[in-house]
Amino acid sequence: MSGTRRLHPETLAVHLGLESDAATGALIPPIHLSTTFERNPDGSYPHGFVYSRAGNPTRAALERALALLQGATEAAAFASGSAAAAAVFRALPAGSHVVVPRDMYHGIRVLLREHLEPAGLRVSEIDQRDLGALGAAITDDTRLIWVETPSNPMLHVTDVAGVVELARRQKGRVEVAVDATWTPPTWADPIGLGVDLVVHATTKYLSGHSDVLGGAVLAARRSETFERIRAIQVHEGAVPSPFECWLTLRGLRTLPHRLRAQAENAAAVAASLVGHDAVTAVHYPGLPEHPGYPIAARQMREAGGMLSIQVAGGEAAAVQVAGAVRLWRRATSLGGVESLIEHRAGVEPEGSATPRDLLRLSLGIEHHEDLVADLAQALSQAGTGA
Ligand SMILES: *Cc1c(COP(=O)(O)O)cnc(C)c1O
């Protein structure tokens, strides 16, 4: 696939990993279930594969495809987004300090607080919209800045190029990792903005059909940190099965088209809710009145497929609205082809800062008029005072 970087993402996505099977001519790559690979009489391995924890052809095809789409040189696939994130933090030297966002995916925060901090990682939670505060949080022991933008579930937008500039002032000591689960390629290009590592829950947009759990760490270049992440992957084996790798590869082929539909739907639904009597706030960085709009417009090609709203009438009304939809599905997660609605505080741990009246919406690829109409009837039924 050399020279393919100049192809458009739609074309690249379709042809990723379609290196026809030399043995059979099969257009679509097979699923390699074998855990072990046979040696030549001289003891060498003809294709470089030895044992599937260390390397598997289907997983290797997925890693190549993900790297190509992201503009990365290295990729390591994991069994979940959480396993991928954990590998990044655990690859840092003992006693490291990291800076993470205050508003972030609650699962990673739990991982940090309950597992990684007790093991010696030092963590500062900072509102990363404020680059001054972020800069002030950097110490001599800081090794990583972890960014999530737009953040989950408040859709805060962080200036990725600004974070990279702050990190570079530390003379190579501080790396930047972006959890890009909410901004898969082509919605954003964090490596183009200078970040070192990109993490995805492939569970979400990349596989795209709510039927695979997976994660990946992608690196702008080979580095000591990435080598340790690779070692954690190989030695611990928190890897996706060949079937899950294959499903994710299949999902990737339609990624650019799904994303376009999802961003269009998010914009349409957000616009329909602005000024609605039953809605007190619409958090979507594609709206010009969103505080993160100017930065989002600069660093994202589209404003994404996620939005949060706050409902007049508080938590009870929010739960009622989620209960009154007919087309939207009431479920957590995101990025699938079906639209989801979720009372977010209800799924996060006790004490989370998420407003109790907040509903998080993940846009699918249905027609936006059907989504807007269903949400409108749910909002009119609930006790929102509207
Ligand atoms: C879902 C998600 C994760 C974790 O992914 P899993 O596959 O569920 O472990 C990490 N970050 C973000 C932003 C997510 O939405």
In DSSP notation, 204-271 reads TTTT-SS----EEEEESS--HHHHHHHHHHHHH-----HHHHHHHHHHHTTHHHHHHHHHHHHHHHHH
204 catalytic? Reply is yes
Mean pLDDT of all residues in 131-146: 98
- 207-230 residue pLDDT tens: 999 999 999 999 999 999 999 999
Mean pLDDT of all residues in 358-380: 98
Confidence of residue 379 (pLDDT cuts 50, 70, 90): very high
Is residue 4 scored above 50 in pLDDT? no
Could you tell me what percent of the chain has a pLDDT over 70?
A: 98
Mean pLDDT of all residues in 348-359: 91
187 contacts 255 by C-beta, under 8 angstroms: no
Looking from the CA of residue 85, the nearest atom of ligand 1 is 10
- CA 335 to ligand 1 centroid distance, Å: 11
Our answer on whether the CB atom of 153 is closer than 6 Å to any ligand 1 atom is no
Looking from the CA of residue 82, the nearest atom of ligand 1 is 9
Mean pLDDT of all residues in 120-140: 97
- 177-198 residue pLDDT tens: 999 999 999 999 999 999 999 9
Confidence of residue 384 (pLDDT cuts 50, 70, 90): low
For domain 255-379, which CATH number applies: 3.40.50.2300, 1.10.10.10, 3.90.1150.10, 3.40.640.10? 3.90.1150.10
pLDDT recorded at residue 350: 84
Mean pLDDT of all residues in 259-269: 98
53 catalytic? Reply is yes
Our answer on whether the CB atom of 354 is closer than 6 Å to any ligand 1 atom is no
171 catalytic? Reply is no
Question: Where in the chain is CATH 3.90.1150.10?
Answer: 255-379
Our answer on whether the CB atom of 342 is closer than 6 Å to any ligand 1 atom is no
Our answer on whether the CB atom of 210 is closer than 6 Å to any ligand 1 atom is no
User: Was domain 4-252 assigned CATH 3.40.50.720?
Assistant: no
Our answer on whether the CB atom of 181 is closer than 6 Å to any ligand 1 atom is yes
Alpha-helical regions (H) of the chain = 9-15, 57-70, 81-90, 106-111, 131-137, 160-168, 224-236, 242-252, 255-273, 293-299, 314-324, 368-381
Mean pLDDT of all residues in 344-366: 93
Query: Does residue 176 sit in helix, strand or coil?
Result: strand
Question: Where in the chain is CATH 3.40.640.10?
Answer: 4-252
Q: Worst-scoring range by mean pLDDT, 9-18, 149-158, 278-287?
A: 9-18
